[in-house]
Amino acid sequence: MKNNSYFIYCILLFAISLQVSCGIYSFTGVNTTVKTATVHLISNQASVVNPGLSGVLTEKLKNKIITNSPIAVVEQNGEMEFSGTITSYQTSPVAASANETAALNRLSVIINIECSNKNDEKQSWTQNFSRYADFNSSQDLSSVEAQLIEEITDQLVDDIFNKALVNW
């Protein structure tokens, strides 16, 4: 009889601890102690400016938070706030071909993001994020730029989201 009550006690303790722990983290690893977030326009201060990049990054970050977390995106005064700047947008040659011309070019984007967590200042941070995509030098940048920006911004937004909200 004593072993039976001990077994029930262990199951009850496990069930309570599981329920309590799921209140803080979801099964995706997203920190759910924050209920609202504000994403300010990511400004473009790069020497070469792609006019649409700022808006694309800002909207993709908002959408990532909305679709992959229980956090509501609000226009102002969120418990977590994101702001940032695009500091670099450039192309450079990557690989030389047999005739010493570039076979591949690289589009690189560097952004500086500041994340402020009003509930827990220890979780506030500022960090540079950098991503790139390569394209064949026989292609004109303007013909592949939209596709490259799509790829790069998806990766940058994933990096920001993981740094801010995923606690694995």
Instruction: Tell me whether residue 108 is in a domain.
Output: yes
> Residue 164: which H helix or E strand, with range?
helix 141-165
Place of tokens 């730029």: 145
Which two three-digit tokens encode residue 74? 């609000």
CB–CB of 29/166 below 8 Å?
yes
DSSP state of 123: G
Q: What is the pLDDT of residue 4?
A: 62
Instruction: Tell me whether residue 9 is in a domain.
Output: no
Instruction: Tell me whether residue 79 is in a domain.
Output: yes
Contacts of 90 (CB under 8 A, 6+ apart): 46, 47, 48, 107, 108
Instruction: Tell me whether residue 60 is in a domain.
Output: yes
Buried b (16+ CB within 10 A) or exposed e, 123-156: beeeeebebbbebebeeeeeeebeebbeebbebb
Q: What is the pLDDT of residue 146?
A: 95
- State how far Cα 107 lies from the chain centre: 19
Write out the chain's pLDDT in tens, 168 residues: 555 666 555 555 555 554 444 444 444 567 568 999 999 999 999 999 999 999 999 999 999 999 999 999 999 999 999 999 999 999 999 876 666 666 899 999 999 999 999 999 999 999 999 999 999 988 999 999 999 999 999 999 999 999 999 865
Instruction: Tell me whether residue 20 is in a domain.
Output: no
For residue 42, give its domain range: 31-165
Instruction: Tell me whether residue 146 is in a domain.
Output: yes
Q: What is the pLDDT of residue 23?
A: 43
Q: What is the pLDDT of residue 159?
A: 97
Q: Where are the beta strands (DSSP E) in 10-100?
A: 36-39, 43-44, 72-73, 80-96
Instruction: Tell me whether residue 74 is in a domain.
Output: yes
* Structural domain count of the chain: 1
Place of tokens 């983290």: 25
The CA distance from 119 to 117, in Å, is 6
Q: What is the pLDDT of residue 18?
A: 46
Instruction: Tell me whether residue 73 is in a domain.
Output: yes
CATH assignment of the domain containing 56: 3.30.160.150
